[in-house]
Amino acid sequence: MSFQLPTPDNETLRKALAIAHRLIPYFTIAVTVLAVPLALLYLLPTILGWFAPPLDPNIDLYAVNRPVAFTFLDASGHEIGHRGAVVGERLQLEDMPDYLPAAFVAVEDRRFYTNPGIDPRGLLRALFTDLRAGLPKLGPDMLAQRLRDLEEAGVAVRRTLPAPAASRVYELTAWGAELAPVLVALGRWGSRVPLPDEPPALGIDAAIVALQTTFDPDAAAGVEESDELRLGDQTFALRVTGGRLEVARGEAAAAAVTIETDTTTLVALAFHGRSLHDAIAAGDARVDGDLTAAERLLTLFRAPVPVAV
């Protein structure tokens, strides 16, 4: 059994040619748009080679940008002094003992020979390290599950920071950010629970939340300034304006004062009446800038009155 394709009549062929005739200019433009950049990219090394200065094949490129150094010899040709960088012969990888390159790799990237260029395990480890620093008693499995729940609920979103950081981070969505006043109010309510005689030290994130929940708008009336607070290796910009406290990570622009301390000292200064002069003298705090502004900032927080239970 055989099949024979139908032969198009003249009218069908004429319509097909008319459509093809209309599309030819667009096809030509599309090909040109793609072909010209590709051709330029292919010819780029040749074009750059025309304008590149000639290189002497006998020049040691390893020494081209090396700072000038001088060696001083006595009349007998013995070295009596040297000024400048002391650079020896290049050491090839195969000439090094095995432990030396292994040590460099271990410091920089333990999976240097196995990761495909981006180390997802390393990125996740860094992400979890940062998050667990603020939640020391939360297990990694529970943390991962909570982050997934927040992401699925639309409260948080995961993204990748631009180079050179290229780390994966979580941030609140616009809807999630609306929870901020709710959490501050909840923290203010919970702060009235009586504490044990020796309360545990606050983490950095908890200390910042404590400042937000105990901020006194009445005490801040008429105060308009930006200050900077450094707790450990983290820096926060504190802006007091219109009876409100705005907190953001990072350095403060035109800070009136910078206070550097730890969370235990901060709690003692803000809530338990410790003198700032005493903390500075003891080496527990350092102030750069207007000392009066630092003392004024610490008076804007009031220790909550414990509820009777």
Q: What is the CATH number of the domain that holds 105?
A: 1.10.10
pTM above 0.85, yes or no: no
Question: What is the structure's pLDDT at 306?
Answer: 75
Q: What is the CATH number of the domain that holds 265?
A: 3.30.1050.10
Last residue of one domain, picked from the residues 176, 197, 225: 176
Last residue of one domain, picked from the residues 143, 160, 176: 176
DSSP string, 112-160: TTTS-SS-HHHHHHHHHHHHHHH-TTS-HHHHHHHHHHHHHTTSEEEEE
Note the helical H segments in the chain.
10-51, 99-108, 120-134, 140-152, 174-177, 180-190, 204-214, 263-271, 276-281, 291-298
Examine the domain organization and report whether 166 and 151 are in the same domain.
yes
In a domain, 20, yes or no: no
Backbone φ/ψ region at 19: left (φ over 0), alpha (ψ -120 to 50), beta: alpha
In a domain, 137, yes or no: yes
In a domain, 42, yes or no: no
Examine the domain organization and report whether 155 and 203 are in the same domain.
no
Decide if 183 contacts 210 (C-beta within 8 A): no
In a domain, 233, yes or no: yes
- CA distances to 48, 77, 201, 307 from 303, rounded to whole Å, are 68, 78, 16, 12
Question: What is the structure's pLDDT at 128?
Answer: 47
Last residue of one domain, picked from the residues 133, 160, 176: 176
Q: What is the pLDDT along the chain (309 residues), one digit of tens a residue?
A: 554 545 555 677 777 777 777 777 777 777 777 777 777 777 777 777 777 666 666 666 666 666 677 777 777 777 777 777 776 677 787 888 888 877 777 665 566 666 555 454 554 454 445 555 555 555 666 667 777 778 888 888 887 766 655 567 778 888 888 888 887 787 778 777 766 556 567 788 888 888 888 899 999 999 999 999 999 888 999 999 999 999 888 898 889 999 999 999 998 898 888 899 999 999 999 999 999 999 999 999 987 777 766
Examine the domain organization and report whether 123 and 221 are in the same domain.
no
Examine the domain organization and report whether 223 and 266 are in the same domain.
yes
- Number of domains the chain is built from: 2
Considering Cα of 97, then 103, then 105, then 111, what sign does the dihedral take?
A: positive
Examine the domain organization and report whether 157 and 189 are in the same domain.
no
In a domain, 40, yes or no: no
Instruction: Give the domain range for residue 202.
Output: 182-298
- Rounded Cα gap, residues 32 and 146, in angstroms: 51
